[in-house]
Structure 1
Amino acid sequence: MKVAQNDYFQQLIEMRNDEDARGLGVQLRQEGFTPVRRLLDRLRDYLRQFTDEEGEMALELLHYARTALPEPGQISPSWAHIWQEFERIIRTKMYTFRSIAVEEREGEWQVLLDNPHSNQNIAVYPALTFMEAIYLFAYFRTDMTRNEYIRLQKIATVMTVTGTDTDGL
C-alpha cells in the first residue's frame, strides 16, 4: 500500500493568507500527530538554517503555523509552548545577526551555559560554526532559569591535547 504524504511545510512556505493557514490547520488536525510532528521538525530545521535575510520569512512562517494550529498542545502536551519557543529562537537569532558583523563570523565558535548558584557542571558546546552556534545560543536561551547565563563566544586561540600523551608536553 502506497501512502501519499503531503508536504505541509512546503504549503506553509507558499502560504499567502490566514484563511489558507486555517485550512491547512484543518487538514493537520484531521491527520493527527505524525504530520504535525513532521511539520514541526521541518520548521525547527528551517530555524536552524535561516540567515540574516530570512528572519522576516521565519516570522511569517511562524505566523502561518500559529494560525494553522493555534493550540498544538491539544495534539501533544509537549507542544503546548512550541510557538513561543520558536518565536524566541527567531528573535534571538535576528538580534545576533544584527549584533555581529558578517566579517566577524568566520572561525570557530562555542556556546557556554552556566548557573553560578548551582553545583551543576558548566555546559560547553565547542568547535561550532557561527550558524551552529547562534542556533544553540537561541535555542538554550528560550528555557533559561533565573540565575543561568549563556555565552556565545568566538574562539581566538585553540590548543587541543589528547589524553594519549603519557610523557607530558
Structure 2
Amino acid sequence: MFLKRLFARSEDTAQSLYEAIVAAARRPFFYAEWAVPDTIDGRFDMISLHLFLVLERLRGEGAEVEDFRQRLTDTFFADMDRSLREMGVGDLSVGKKVRKMSEAFYGRVKAYAEALQQGSGLTEALARNVYAGVAEAEATRLADWVLKAREHLKAQATEEIVRGKVAFP
C-alpha cells in the first residue's frame, strides 16, 4: 500500500506537517486583523485549532493514518514541552504544565468537534476559547474561516497532507 511505504520512508513526516500547521497558525492576519490575542495563549489556541482541523481531516483514513495522527499529536506535545523549557519553566513544573495544556487542547477538540457535528455552537466555542468571550464579531469571522478551512482540507489528498503539504485558506 502506498501509504505504508510513505510512512516507512520517513519518521519526520509528522514533524514536517506540524511545522506547516504552526506556520499557518502564525499568519499575521489572525492577530492583526481578527484580534486573536498575540500572546502565548492566543498562539496555543491557533495552533490547537489548526491541528484540530488536520486531525479531523485525517480521521477515518485507515490504521497507518491513525498511527500518523498519534505521532502528529505527540509532536505537538513535544513542542509544547520544549517551548516551556525554553521559556524557563523548571523541570519539575513542565510535566504539570504540559498536562494542563493537554487538558485544554482536548477540551477544545471536543468542543469544536461537537459544534461541527451538531452544526451549531462553533462561534460560541471559539469566542470562549480563543477570545475569552470578549470578541463575538471576530469569533464569527473565525468560525466562518474554520468551516472554509474544513472544506479546503477535504479537497486535499491524504498522501499530500501526511507529507506536510497542507494548505489552509
**Above 0.5 in TM-score?**
no
TM-score, normalised via structure 2 length: 0.33
TM-score normalized with structure 1 length:
0.33
The answer to which structure has the higher strand fraction is 1
More helix by share: 2
